[in-house]
């Protein structure tokens, strides 16, 4: 039984550091974080969130951001302690042992794969809409997975499938190319958001903010959960991916300092933009009107203000925004599977570093193709909640890990210390539990099934092949 909880030391992890190329600096990491965070939240989820919380959606974003902020402090401390690839998987290996690490690694693969597949479906909707505006039409049958839209016959989401393969190719050819592609798209995306704010802020009608909080903290409205907390559980999806920044530790220059800065800066900048955007959107459009614009809520504001000329620009911003989200999450996924392979818990195939590109080339393409197929064939409207529960579980373990490491190894060098320990990780755990409570019970059943599959892989392969066996 004790072998299930055998731990890796930070010294061992650093000694086995990889041949991955170090090129990332603070602003690269901040842009990776912004690339992961700003996208689906603004361009897709604000409609559903506004119907759930009304104008108080801005408070829901703040609640979700605070949850991520406390967890972000814990990630930053771990990243400064153990600047190696693997994110929460690696941190759990250090703090809790092998089986917990495997479970969280398996969990993160679910988070990133389903996250990318879900975002690719939203990306496809905006892309098809943009093409229609330009007079180019894709056959309806190839614009969504079967059963996505009631009353509309669809079989396969071709745009979603293709975009995931293109992003996989960018990630596979090198971190420098990934960084350049992400930085360029983030700059354009931020410019589009700033342009939108400047053009629409003048149309705010304060009466649209009354009542500001129509459904309270938590209530039931028309048979569904409503209020600030349920909306926070929905928009929490917007912040998923900032933890992928910590997966880049072995490709970062001076990671013990730059990783904490990149994680926290990206959270702060993204939260400010989210709050400004939601206040403008609910100030311009009465929140109940978003029911007609669930797939593209930003376009509701442009229709209300008569600025249809902005819609093509906003669609381009949305497409780029969601592209960077997929880019960072697929990048994070490839580095998690790489770390697990290096530790022997996954086959060597996933850890092979291509000499030419200095990336885990084969593993990147393996998961990229599976994710592309998932985005093309599976109706992901329900499965997106699985992404949230997976991420919240990772946040809880990382936060608990900081508590445990402060207790068990207080003298360990930390380039960054989370402020307010033990309160910071305890608050992070409490916030995560509150958001998990807002999720559907069916999500829990699916999550448990996924974990059982993972445990079969661990006991069937990982435990026997773990590199740590040679030391025990």
Structure tokens at 366: 């393996």
Q: How confident is the model at residue 380 (pLDDT cuts 50, 70, 90)?
A: low
Domain residue ranges of the chain, discontinuous segments joined by +? 2-471
Write b or e for each residue in 65-104: b if 16 or more Cβ atoms lie within 10 A of its Cβ, otherwise e: bbbbbbbbbbbbbbbbbbbbbbbbbbbbbbbbbbbbbbbb
The mean of the pLDDT values for the chain is 85
The secondary structure element, H or E, covering residue 298 is helix 297-305
The fold for domain 2-471 equals Amino acid/polyamine transporter I (1.20.1740)
The secondary structure element, H or E, covering residue 104 is helix 98-133
Q: How confident is the model at residue 18 (pLDDT cuts 50, 70, 90)?
A: low
424 contacts 74 by C-beta, under 8 angstroms = yes
What angle, 0 to 180 degrees and rounded to 10, lies between the N-to-C axes of helices 26-37 and 175-200?
Answer: 60
What DSSP designation does 382 have?
Answer: T
Cα–Cα distances (Å) from 128 to 24, 118, 131, 280, in that order, read 34, 16, 5, 26
94 contacts 344 by C-beta, under 8 angstroms = no
Cα–Cα distances (Å) from 407 to 170, 320, 412, 435, in that order, read 42, 44, 11, 27
**pLDDT tens figures, 410-467:** 888 888 888 898 999 999 999 889 888 877 777 888 888 989 999 999 999 999 998 8
What is the CB neighbour count within 10 angstroms for residue 453? 11
- Amino acid 220: pLDDT: 82
Q: Check whether 284 has a pLDDT greater than 80.
A: yes
167 contacts 323 by C-beta, under 8 angstroms = yes
Q: Check whether 286 has a pLDDT greater than 80.
A: yes
Q: Check whether 143 has a pLDDT greater than 80.
A: yes
- Amino acid 32: pLDDT: 86
- Amino acid 382: pLDDT: 60
**pLDDT tens figures, 166-213:** 999 998 887 777 788 888 989 999 999 999 999 999 999 999 999 999
Residue 193 CA to residue 39 CA, distance in Å, equals 10
**pLDDT tens figures, 309-338:** 888 888 888 898 889 889 888 888 888 898
pTM of the full structure: 0.83
Name every residue whose Cβ is closer than 8 Å to that of residue 305 and which is 6 or more positions away in sequence.
199, 200, 203, 284
- Amino acid 390: pLDDT: 82
Residue 82 CA to residue 349 CA, distance in Å, equals 25
Q: How confident is the model at residue 470 (pLDDT cuts 50, 70, 90)?
A: low
**pLDDT tens figures, 83-104:** 776 778 888 888 888 999 999 8
What DSSP designation does 45 have?
Answer: I
Q: Check whether 383 has a pLDDT greater than 70.
A: no
Q: Check whether 2 has a pLDDT greater than 60.
A: no
């Amino acid at each position: 039984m004790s072998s299930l909880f055998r731990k890796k030391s930070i010294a061992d992890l650093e000694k086995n550091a990889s041949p991955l190329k170090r090129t990332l600096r603070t602003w690269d990491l901040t842009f990776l974080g912004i690339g992961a965070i700003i996208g689906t939240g603004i361009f897709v989820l604000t409609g559903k969130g506004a119907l759930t919380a009304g104008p108080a959606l801005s408070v829901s974003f703040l609640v979700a951001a605070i949850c991520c902020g406390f967890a972000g402090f814990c990630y930053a401390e771990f990243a400064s302690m153990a600047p190696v690839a693997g994110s929460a998987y690696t941190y759990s290996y250090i703090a809790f042992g092998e089986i917990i690490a495997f479970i969280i690694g398996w969990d993160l693969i679910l988070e990133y794969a389903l996250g990318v597949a879900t975002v690719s479906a939203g990306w496809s909707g905006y892309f098809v809409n943009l093409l229609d505006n330009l007079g180019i039409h894709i056959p309806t049958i190839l614009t969504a997975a079967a059963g996505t839209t009631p009353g509309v016959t669809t079989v396969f989401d071709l745009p979603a499938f293709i975009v995931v393969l293109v992003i996989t190719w960018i990630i596979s050819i090198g971190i420098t190319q990934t960084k350049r592609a992400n930085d360029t798209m983030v700059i354009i995306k931020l410019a589009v958001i700033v342009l939108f704010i400047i053009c629409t802020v003048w149309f705010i009608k304060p009466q649209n903010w009354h009542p500001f909080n129509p459904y309270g903290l938590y209530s039931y409205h028309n048979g569904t959960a409503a209020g600030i907390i349920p909306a926070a559980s929905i928009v929490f999806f917007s912040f998923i991916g900032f933890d992928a920044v910590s997966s880049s530790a072995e490709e970062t220059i001076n990671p013990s300092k730059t990783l904490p800065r990149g994680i926290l800066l990206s959270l702060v900048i993204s939260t400010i933009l989210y709050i400004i955007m939601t206040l403008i959107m609910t100030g311009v459009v009465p929140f109940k009107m978003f029911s007609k614009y669930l797939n593209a809520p930003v376009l509701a504001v442009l229709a209300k203000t008569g600025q249809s000329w902005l819609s093509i620009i906003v669609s381009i911003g949305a497409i780029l925004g969601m592209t960077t989200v997929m880019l960072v999450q697929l990048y994070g996924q490839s580095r998690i599977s790489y770390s697990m392979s290096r530790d022997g818990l996954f086959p060597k195939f996933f850890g092979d570093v291509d000499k030419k590109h200095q990336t885990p080339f084969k593993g990147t393409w393996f998961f990229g193709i599976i994710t592309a197929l998932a985005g093309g064939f599976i109706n992901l409207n329900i499965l997106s909640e699985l992404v949230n529960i997976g991420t919240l579980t990772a946040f809880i373990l990382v936060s608990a890990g900081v508590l445990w490491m402060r207790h068990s190894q207080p003298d360990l060098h930390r380039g960054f210390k989370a402020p307010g320990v033990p309160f910071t990780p305890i608050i992070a755990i409490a916030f995560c539990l509150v958001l998990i409570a807002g999720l559907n019970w069916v999500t829990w059943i699916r999550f448990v099934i996924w974990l059982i599959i993972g445990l079969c892989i661990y006991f069937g392969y990982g435990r026997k092949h773990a590199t740590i066996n040679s030391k025990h």
